[in-house]
Amino acid sequence: MSVGFIGAGQVAHALVRGFTAAGVIASHRITASSPDTDLPTKLGVNFTTSNKETVNKSDVLFLAVKPHIIPFVLDEIGPDIEDRHLIVSCAAGVTISSIEKAGYGRPR
């Protein structure tokens, strides 16, 4: 299993620290994308500035950006989301059903 984070701010940091400390997943199996190149280096995970690359390298994808950014992210990565992806929204007020209604992903 591989995990991706679109957004590498405080939420991503907390989740990565928790996952790796608990032994849920090794840091080399995690990819994070962010326009801010300083943030992911503090995470100790694979880094890219390409959200599409994060999607393609991940089975579980955390959308860890501010709510107003979600539509832009979905427009960018939507064509790359496959049935194998499990999408997790970390954005306040952005539900999985709203992502599905926008045409991205299917319920599980």
pLDDT tens, residue by residue, 40-65: 567 789 999 999 999 999 999 999 99
> Higher model confidence: residue 107 or residue 53?
53
What is the percent of the chain with per-residue pLDDT over 90, rounded to a whole number?
70
Residue 35 confidence (pLDDT): 87
Calpha distance 50→17 (Å, rounded): 22
Across residues 61-73, what is the average pLDDT? 95
pLDDT tens, residue by residue, 31-41: 999 987 776 56
Calpha distance 35→24 (Å, rounded): 27
> Tokens standing for 40?
């992911």
CATH fold of 3-104, please? Answer: Rossmann fold (3.40.50)
Q: Write the single-letter amino acid at 73.
A: V
